[in-house]
Amino acid sequence: MKQAELNLRKFTIIAIQGLVITVVVSSLVLLFTLDAETVGELKNQVNWMLVPLLALPVLVSWTCNGLRFWLMCRCIGNPLSLRRAWSIAVSSEFGVMASPGGVGGTAVRLGFLKRSGISFVHGGSLLAADVFLDLLFFVSITPFALYALLQYLSFDKTSLARTWNPLWLLLLLIPIAVYALRKRMFQSVKKNEQMQKHRVAGRIRLARQKALHGFRQGKTATALIFRNHRGVLLINFMLSALQFTARYSILPFAIWLLGIPVNPLPLIMMQGTLFMISMLVVAPGGGGSVELLAALALPQLMPTHLVGVAILLWRIFTYHFYLLFGGAVFAATFRKLMRD
């Protein structure tokens, strides 16, 4: 029990660190992109009463994730209650957000499944099958997203000059500096200086190896389920499409709320790329990398003076909301499963 409390405390500390870093970076992006006319424009054009509705896609995404998990558990003969499946699914989402590189999501899901009577082998197979279906969805929409993205982006030097601002370097340095000041991080680097030299290359190599292993495992697990439960697999794929469409619709909705018409497909492609890059950053919340890279990309799709507002709204509901409400579900599930 003592070890369980320590793990809960560690997740909480990392979540708070990620919350602080992302709030700081989002605020700085807002400060650097805001101008005198923006405040008046926001007052006149934006209906702020609609902002809380941006939480609805998150709830739809969580519901789809829970339903997928519930269906897959029934396929392997280990039925969980829908409530338990939803709680574990949402808790694993919190684990992704509250850990450097998102590594906590897998640990949370497998750990809670073990406590629910499902072995690590079966839990790993379920996770791999889910990831494989997610990959199929993204592969299916990639050609359309790329086509839409190329219609929007401009590669002329004038456009790139307007997008780039040397002050963005400050946004990159601040979260890195804050995280580097942690005592434990400093001590580990001091003890092993060679770790710094090969860290990036090592993480990329490890990520590639894990991706290949996960792809093979997911393909095998999906094939086995397909033989006996084709209907369930089709429903799972449809739920996967709805889950990620809902999750990645928050940024387009936030931009539409600001009165800017935009094609959602390029934004889906951009968000997927940004989240993948953030997984390689060894810092809570991706060390602010998502906010910084979005600040460099979004001026190609919308007015620069509204970029900071869009990013702030987007990250409130795709990161802070996950930490706060997902964290509450995680804490309740943690105490219920770990008390025995």
- pLDDT at residue number 86: 94
Per-residue confidence in pLDDT tens, the chain, 340 aa: 344 443 677 778 888 888 888 888 888 888 888 877 777 778 778 888 899 999 999 999 999 999 998 988 887 777 788 999 999 999 999 988 888 777 778 888 888 888 888 777 777 777 777 877 888 888 888 787 777 767 665 544 444 444 455 555 555 555 555 555 555 544 544 444 444 444 555 555 555 565 555 555 555 655 666 666 677 788 888 999 999 999 999 999 999 998 888 888 888 878 888 887 777 776 777 777 888 888 888 888 888 888 989 999 999 999 999 999 999 999 999 888 876 5
Q: Is the dihedral of CA 165, 22, 94, 324 positive or negative?
A: negative
- pLDDT at residue number 140: 83
- pLDDT at residue number 206: 59
Return all residues near 128 (Cβ < 8 A) that are at least 6 apart: 214, 217, 218, 220, 221, 222
- pLDDT at residue number 180: 58
- pLDDT at residue number 97: 86
Instruction: Tell me how far CA of residue 34 lies from CA of 161, 171, 258, 298, 308, in angstroms.
Output: 18, 15, 14, 14, 7
Residue 98 backbone phi and psi in degrees, to 5: -100, 35
Closest CA to 317 of 229, 262, 257, 260: 257
Burial 304-320 (b: 16+ CB within 10 A, else e): bbbbbbbbbbbbbbbbb
- pLDDT at residue number 177: 58
- pLDDT at residue number 198: 45
Return all residues near 199 (Cβ < 8 A) that are at least 6 apart: 282
Return all residues near 253 (Cβ < 8 A) that are at least 6 apart: 53, 54, 57
Return all residues near 139 (Cβ < 8 A) that are at least 6 apart: none
- pLDDT at residue number 3: 41
